[in-house]
Amino acid sequence: MTEQSGPNVGQMIRTLREQRGLSLRALAKRSGLSVNAISRIEHGDNSPTVSSLHLLATGLTVPITAFFDEAHEQATVFVPQNQRLRSEGDGVVIESLGIGLRHQHLEPFMMTVSPQRGNIHEPIVHPGQEFVFLLQGELEYRVGDQTFTFNEGDSLLFEATQPHCFYNPGSQPAIVLLVFQTIEGTFVARQQHMDVCEA
């Protein structure tokens, strides 16, 4: 797993955990990740995968964008390409395309998936809706018991309470636009039977 670049997502996770008065053990129980995995993420020894970010967001009852939020709420947000907040790990890079909007309802991300990588064995479940648009490369997206094979320009919109996962079957990186719906209040979705512990 490569080192995280850009803003310290691990530190933001630790800050949110401490603000809620949660121990590492308590967050581990709530998220399904191991104490060791969370500790290594917080200290920057491992960068969280997309699956781990969802698990931690669920455990901390925050939207996933909270881990990338370093700005005060604004009415307009402009993000230069070289200033995107990002996290990298396990062959997947996820970059925030906009965070900090007042009353924000959308969570836009750019995701780059290395060849033969993805979270096909680690389905994600979270509240709200999700939009996927393949900008470049090849991608498979599984939602429930359906598998969708993307060509460049294909898109997918679905209720994210269904188990879903992705995989890049090609030989080149897949570049994907992801848009999550922001859900206010407590995250109640829990991901079951997932082995996402980072050794």
Non-local CB neighbours of 48 within 8 Å, separated by 6+ positions: 9, 10, 13, 41, 56, 67, 87, 89, 198
Average pLDDT on 135-160 reads 96
pTM comes to 0.63
Specify the pLDDT at position 189: 25
Cβ 189 vs Cβ 164: under 8 Å: no
Classify each residue of 155-172 as buried b or exposed e, where b means 16 or more C-beta atoms within 10 Å of its C-beta: ebebebeebbbbbbeeee
Average pLDDT on 32-60 reads 87
Number of neighbouring beta carbons within 10 Å of residue 74: 12
Average pLDDT on 94-118 reads 86
Average pLDDT on 64-78 reads 71
Delineate the domains of the chain, giving CATH numbers in brackets. Answer: 1-199 (2.60.120.10)
Average pLDDT on 150-166 reads 95
- Phi and psi at 82, nearest 5°, equal -85, 5
CA 72 to chain centre: 21
Specify the pLDDT at position 111: 94
Q: Binning pLDDT at 50, 70 and 90, where does residue 72 land?
A: low
Average pLDDT on 26-34 reads 91
Tell which wins on pLDDT, 144 or 74. 144
Tell which wins on pLDDT, 35 or 106. 35
From residue 135, how far is each of 50, 85, 125, 145, 149 by CA, in Å? 19, 20, 23, 24, 14
